[in-house]
Homo-oligomer: A and B are copies of this chain.
Amino acid sequence: MEFEHGGYVQESNAQFIDFSSNVNPLPFPKGIRRLKERIFESVRPYPDPYMKELCEKVSSFHGLSKEEILFGNGSSELIYLSLFALKPRSVCIPAPTFSEYERASKAIGAEIERIELDENFLLPLSSIKDTEMLIFCHPNNPTGNYIIENRKDILRLNIRHFIIDEAFIEFSEDHEKRSFLSLIKEDKRIIVIRTFTKLFPLAGVRIGYMIAEKEVIERIKAFKPPWNVNGPAMVLASSFLEERGFVERTRKLVKKEREYLIKELKALGFKPYPSVTNFILFKLKEGQSSKVLRERLQSRGIMIRDCSNFSGLDERFVRIAVKTRKDNKRLIEALKEICLKY
């Protein structure tokens, strides 16, 4: 059985450079490295089921009330809980996108309507028929762009709930203008999901949150086990919220390195797509295969995301995370070597 996502470095080999997982490449800031003792102390007692401290921080950060926020064991738990609670009979999902939307929809037996993105990876809204739920990633994984250009366009659709996964939005420079957060007050159908595992590199502790109108939060909360977020996650997320310098450094690094990678990929004859995130989707040359490229890079200690299993993509697409210059250079050098013989 092959794992269908990136980031599965089973060997956990330190020599491997993992471009398959879209997480922040910066080292932990000093304030976080100091938390070892507090993290260790948090593994023993029950975690606060109300997550008081974090709830206050996040709600004041977004200017929302605490009743509009729900924390999850990673944003993936929140995707599943939304479907379990809201029970849509039909779900509309763009293709290509993160596969868990479809997996969770299948679990509840919803009818799934896949809408293929157009040649610019935009969602053709006119193709969306009446449906109970639209789930999309904003910006989209693996394409790296906003598939909805004007936020308010979707509000005209006859859809009961919008689940908008903004896992990668904070890497984008105009995230505040682009986010659906500011529309929650005017349209109760909007549910936004955010995570602490991409911009803040905390994939190992699983923590994300959902923002929606109070009644929606109440409905979904009824399906949530009481202590779903662990102690170390709370300690780390709470401290990361203070690290505004880290966020700024990350955005600057990602922008610069994304430009570098796109330029180099083009020079190698690949077709990288525009990205506002910390990853880049690119198309291989005629006759090349994502599987072969993945294997050849793997034998050089580099992991990339073969995108052939994304519905809507094929063997000519791969995705890479944007990392530090040293790692990015190693990837480009390896690609050059491989291309000479391929």
By a beta-carbon cutoff of 8 Å, the part of chain A in contact with chain B is: 3, 5, 7-10, 12, 18, 21, 23, 28, 35-37, 39-40, 42-50, 52, 73-74, 76-77, 79-80, 84-85, 100, 103-104, 106-107, 201-206, 222-228, 230-233, 236
Closest residue of chain B to A49 (Cβ to Cβ) is B3
Bound: A103/B46 CA distance, A = 19
Closest residue of chain B to A3 (Cβ to Cβ) is B49
Residues of the B chain whose Cβ atoms lie less than 8 Å from the Cβ of A103: 222
A-B contact pairs, 9 of them (CB 8 A): A5-B226, A35-B40, A36-B39, A42-B204, A47-B204, A73-B230, A74-B225, A80-B224, A84-B84
Bound: A46/B206 CA distance, A = 9
Residue of B23, B35, B43, B100 touching A205 (CB-CB under 8 A): B43
Closest residue of chain B to A204 (Cβ to Cβ) is B231
Bound: A39/B103 CA distance, A = 30
Say whether, besides A5-B226, A74-B227, A227-B76, A43 and B10 are in contact (CB < 8 Å).
no
**Do B36 and A40 touch across chains, with their CB atoms under 8 A apart?**
yes
Number of copies of chain A assembled together: 2
Residues of the B chain whose Cβ atoms lie less than 8 Å from the Cβ of A231: 204-205
A40 to chain B, nearest CB (A): 5
Closest 3 pairs between A and B when the two form their complex, measured CB to CB: A204-B231, A76-B225, A43-B204
**Do A232 and B43 touch across chains, with their CB atoms under 8 A apart?**
yes
Closest residue of chain B to A9 (Cβ to Cβ) is B45
Residue of B10, B18, B45, B233 touching A230 (CB-CB under 8 A): B233
Residue of B3, B47, B79 touching A203 (CB-CB under 8 A): B47
A283 to chain B, nearest CB (A): 26
Residues of the B chain whose Cβ atoms lie less than 8 Å from the Cβ of A74: 225, 227-228
**Do B225 and A77 touch across chains, with their CB atoms under 8 A apart?**
yes
Q: Which residue, A47, A222, A227, has most C-beta atoms of chain B within 10 A?
A: A227
